[in-house]
Amino acid sequence: MTAGLVLLLLGLLLLSGSAFAAFCWAVGDGQLEHLERAPEVIFDAAEPIGEPGDCFPDARSRAAMAKAAERP
Amino acid sequence: MSDLLRSLDPGTPSDPRSYVERAEIDASLRGPVLLFFCSGIAWLLLGSLLGTLAAFKMSFPHLLDSADWLTFGRVRPAHLNIMIYGWASSVGIGVGIWLMARLCRVALRHRGLLMGAGVVWNLGVLIGTVGILAGQSRSIEWLEFPGWATPVLFLGYALIGVWGVIMFRFRRPGHVYVSQWYLLAAFLWFPWLYATANTLLIWQPVQGSVVGAVNWWYGHNVLGLWFTPIGLASAYYMIPKVIGRPIHSYYLSILGFWSLAFFYSWNGMHHLIGGPFPAWMISASVVASIMMFIPVLTVAINHHSTMRGHFHYLKWSPTLRFTVVGAMTYTLVSLQGSLMAIPSLNNLTHFTDYTIGHAHLGLYGFFTMTMFGAMYYIVPRLVGWEWPSATMIRWHFWLATSGIAIMVASLTLGGFLQGLELNDPEVLDFLSSVRVVAPFRFIRACSGILLSAAHLVFAVLFIRMLLRHGVRQVGPALFSAPEKPGDLPAV
């Protein structure tokens, strides 16, 4: 096996190793806890859950989307 | 209450702080993000032109061959590298910057660093493209830019990577959303890949067949560990935000990210099945490719379940329409890629147009469509103006979707028939495999016209947007404005 292949294999192991190190940090930092509420983190008072955030810039699309958002 | 728990508290609707915070972050991002978007679109137009020209040259070899710089051997790699580094990377960086700042919930730090990085990056793409057209191509797929352009690109990217780490370090304490994981990984992995590949191929070049191994390790990983994380980060943010519903299963999203991180970097060698390499390397790569079913299916199930009951929003939201098409294509192209790693199928598709169709499905059908979706969401928030024409957005969508569908269908079918010819022991004439694929190549070239038209429509729309052309509309991007306008800082 050439030196190039050894270097390549080292690169592969380092890439996977970096992922493993990041995983260990995530576990230690508590990032894998409270996952039930984690998806809500991107919403806030300005862009709350239940409010659609985009539509085509014409009146018909806006009205239809607003109506759909009012559905239970 | 811990920082992590506090970060999960969305606040109250009457609290003006979130409006102000959001507007401050968007205002701080305007210059750098628009720089990457503007330059990306310019490269997209040039890359489309060169790609269409190269495709027609496959049917009409003497087309525009009077000048050296317009010959196929230069136009094709110029198209490829412009699309990867000029378009896809630039727009990916722009979207990544915006998402990272939004998710870190801090205004942009070191704006000058990013602006400088944008200028240096584009300078690198420019001199690399000129180098290829001048005949200085390196003949290493995905790394054709001449050696003297590489340090410029690397410097530009290094500044961006440093910024990404700084932003993450100074983020508001709390939960790291799955999109942040993808972005952070992409910002760290790309310089690693680029530096390693250039070291092994340019500065301390390996010899012989190992060149192929390094080349495919880089080529495959740049798709899976650079473009894919950015595309998925965007999809995991845009889909829930547009429909106003959190991701179906956060557990699945976390599983998808970590399985991609652990398995993907081993995938590239499946392009070398049958080549002069140790058998264990190929086998490890094939196994890792099949393991990719885990992250792909978790993402697919999660996105589909999030969208369930909300598919009618596709009629009304350009962001959602582009992003969902991109996300569905991600599933399709990833499963196709895993299956192509199976040696029996690889024997048929290798060295044919099938692989080229697969690459276009990934970089365009998945990544580019997802980026278009993100830009439709981000740009109105940066310029404080709604998109001026719904009709042009619809033209953009249908031209792009029909163009890529026709392109991939023709390349896939043509490549399949080409593979059958190449593997048929009764067929002794190599030219018969060329003849069988010729009509499909012509159809593919025509589909390039559709894609170029889509890009032209988008570029005109984008320029109109920057110029704030048309009547001011109270649009969806702005409909979450606070009740008291004075709460918002001027943008």
Q: Look up the pTM and report it.
A: 0.91
Question: Does any domain span residue B183?
Answer: no
Rounded Cα gap, residues B63 and B150, in angstroms: 31
B485 has a pLDDT exceeding 60: no
Q: Which pLDDT score, from 0 to 100, does residue B263 have?
A: 86
Mean pLDDT of chain B: 90
Average pLDDT over residues B482-489: 39
B243 interfaces chain A, CB cutoff of 8 Å: yes
Rounded Cα gap, residues B274 and B282, in angstroms: 9
Distance from CA of A59 to the nearest CA of B (A): 9
Beta carbons of B172 and B105 less than 8 angstroms apart: yes
C-alpha torsion B262→B263→B268→B270, nearest 10: 160
User: What residue type is assigned to position B314 of the chain?
Assistant: L
Q: DSSP code of B235?
A: H
CB pairs under 8 A between A and B: 192
Q: How far is CA B443 from CA B52, B333, B431, in A?
A: 11, 21, 19
- Domain map (residue ranges) of chain A: 1-33
Distance from CA of A65 to the nearest CA of B (A): 6
Rounded Cα gap, residues B224 and B218, in angstroms: 10
A10 has a pLDDT exceeding 60: yes
In chain A, % helix, strand, coil (3-state, to 5) comes to 60, 0, 40
Last residue of a domain, one of B145, B174, B203: B174
Q: B153 and B235, same structural domain?
A: no
ipTM for the whole complex = 0.77
Q: B274 and B152, same structural domain?
A: no
A24 interfaces chain B, CB cutoff of 8 Å: no
Rounded Cα gap, residues B46 and B11, in angstroms: 46
Question: Does any domain span residue B485?
Answer: no
List, as one string, the DSSP characters of B123-169: HHHHHHHHHHHTT----STT--S-TTTHHHHHHHHHHHHHHHHHHHH
Beta carbons of B337 and B245 less than 8 angstroms apart: no
Rounded Cα gap, residues B189 and B210, in angstroms: 21
Q: Which residues of A touch B207 (CB under 8 A)?
A: 2, 4
Name the token pair of B147: 């050696």
Q: B222 and B82, same structural domain?
A: no
Q: B234 and B147, same structural domain?
A: no
Question: Does any domain span residue B35?
Answer: yes
Q: Which pLDDT score, from 0 to 100, does residue B189 have?
A: 87
Average pLDDT over residues B229-250: 95
Residues 6+ apart with CB under 8 A from B86: B39, B40, B42, B43, B44, B46, B47, B122, B125, B129
Lowest average pLDDT, out of A14-18, A48-52, B240-244, goes to A14-18
Beta carbons of B83 and B51 less than 8 angstroms apart: yes
List, as one string, the DSSP characters of B390-451: HHHHHHHHHHHHHHHHHHHHHHHHHHHHHHHHHH-TT---HHHHHHHHHHHHHHHHHHHHHH
pLDDT above 90 as % of chain B: 68
pLDDT tens per residue across span B267-321? 888 889 988 888 998 999 999 999 999 999 999 999 999 999 999 889 889 999 9
Q: Which pLDDT score, from 0 to 100, does residue B6 have?
A: 52
pLDDT tens per residue across span B41-67? 999 999 999 999 999 999 999 999 889
Average pLDDT over residues B438-459: 98
pLDDT tens per residue across span B208-239? 888 989 999 999 999 999 999 999 999 999 99
B4 has a pLDDT exceeding 60: no
- Best of B207, B241, B306 to mutate (most A CBs within 10 Å, chain A): B241
Q: Which pLDDT score, from 0 to 100, does residue B480 have?
A: 39
Question: Does any domain span residue B12?
Answer: no
Beta carbons of B180 and B106 less than 8 angstroms apart: no
Alpha helices in B60-146 (DSSP H): 72-81, 89-104, 111-133
pLDDT above 70 as % of chain A: 85
pLDDT tens per residue across span B27-43? 999 999 999 999 999 99
Q: DSSP code of B489?
A: P
Total residues belonging to chain B:
491
Q: B138 and B271, same structural domain?
A: no
Rounded Cα gap, residues B489 and B491, in angstroms: 6
Residues 6+ apart with CB under 8 A from B463: B469
Lowest average pLDDT, out of A24-38, B275-289, B457-471, goes to A24-38
Confidence of residue B205 (pLDDT cuts 50, 70, 90): confident
B343 has a pLDDT exceeding 90: yes
Name the token pair of B476: 């969806």
Q: B468 and B400, same structural domain?
A: yes
Beta carbons of B246 and B198 less than 8 angstroms apart: no
Beta carbons of A57 and B465 less than 8 angstroms apart: no
User: What residue type is assigned to position B32 of the chain?
Assistant: P
Question: Does any domain span residue B182?
Answer: no
CATH number at residue B463: 1.20.210.10
Query: Is the model more confident about A60 or about B272?
Result: B272
Lowest average pLDDT, out of B3-17, B110-124, B162-176, B298-312, goes to B3-17
Question: Does any domain span residue B80?
Answer: yes
For chain B, what is the domain count? 2
Q: Which pLDDT score, from 0 to 100, does residue B491 have?
A: 32
* Residue B73 zone, left/alpha/beta (φ > 0; ψ -120 to 50; rest): alpha
Q: Which pLDDT score, from 0 to 100, does residue A56 have?
A: 76
Considering only the beta carbons, identify the residue of A34, A65, A69 that sits closest to B8: A34
Confidence of residue B13 (pLDDT cuts 50, 70, 90): very low
Q: Which residues of B231-253 are buried (b: 16+ CB within 10 A; e: fewer)?
A: bbbbbbbbbbbbbbbbbbbbebb
Confidence of residue B15 (pLDDT cuts 50, 70, 90): low
Residues 6+ apart with CB under 8 A from B484: B16
**Cβ separation of B316 and A49 shorter than 8 Å?**
no
Query: Is the model more confident about B343 or about A1?
Result: B343
CATH number at residue B77: 1.20.120
Q: B232 and B119, same structural domain?
A: no
- Best of B22, B265, B277, B491 to mutate (most A CBs within 10 Å, chain A): B265
Average pLDDT over residues B396-410: 98
Average pLDDT over residues B334-352: 94
Q: B111 and B47, same structural domain?
A: yes
Q: Which residue of chain A is at minimal alpha-carbon distance from B254?
A: A32
Q: Which pLDDT score, from 0 to 100, does residue B488 have?
A: 37
Question: Does any domain span residue B198?
Answer: no
Q: Which residues of A touch B313 (CB under 8 A)?
A: 52, 65, 68
Domain residues for B295? 213-475
Total residues belonging to chain A:
72
Question: Does any domain span residue B381?
Answer: yes
- The H or E element containing residue B355 is helix B353-360
pLDDT tens per residue across span B104-122? 988 888 889 999 999 999 9
